[in-house]
Amino acid sequence: MQELRPSETSEWYTPKYIFDALNCQFDLDPCSPGPGHWVPANKVYTIEDDGLVHPWEGLVWMNPPFGGRNGQVPWLKKFLIHGNGIALVSALTSSGWFHDWATKAETLVFPRGKTKFIRPDGSVGKSPGYGIVLLGMGDRANKALRQCKLGWFVDNMNWVDFEDD
């Protein structure tokens, strides 16, 4: 694990404009920075709560910890099993985990440009080294992604993995 300098952080928050574009009220944010944050969720689990061990209900917003080579995978597995919500993950399309898990989402949106995340102090981070993708599961999430106009929308419900043939 890389050691962070005092000015660095592993906490990066989703910009508010993404939620404005999605126009959704979520039932749960299992990876929340805490109550009072701008994520429109009725219930939150913080890092202290460990959202992976609790049950998920309703429409979920998930921006999981990005740490480690496959750090998003346990969260992504639970998200896909839950089957109702929108997840924000790194768009590392050449990674094995991306092909194994992210491609199982019903819909995807690849936002235009690189998303500049918000630091805990409210400042805007610099352009990251890679883009993100929003993954949708369930009718409400898929409709929100289809209508959000954040970038390239992919309807993945009829996708065929030719390696499985």
**Mean local confidence (pLDDT), 117-135:** 86
Q: Which residue has the higher pLDDT, 122 or 26?
A: 26
The per-residue pLDDT for range 1-30, each reduced to its tens digit, is: 223 333 355 678 899 999 999 999 999 999
Backbone angles phi, psi at 123, to 5 degrees: -75, 155
Fold of the 16-116+125-159 domain:
Rossmann fold (3.40.50)
Domain boundaries, the chain: 16-116+125-159
| pLDDT of amino acid 160 | 57
Q: Which amino acid is at 124?
A: V
| pLDDT of amino acid 6 | 33
Q: Which of 117, 116, 129, 133 lies closest to 11, judged by CA? A: 117
Structure-token pair, residue 59 = 């429409």
The per-residue pLDDT for range 58-91, each reduced to its tens digit, is: 999 999 987 667 778 999 999 999 999 999 999 9
| pLDDT of amino acid 25 | 98
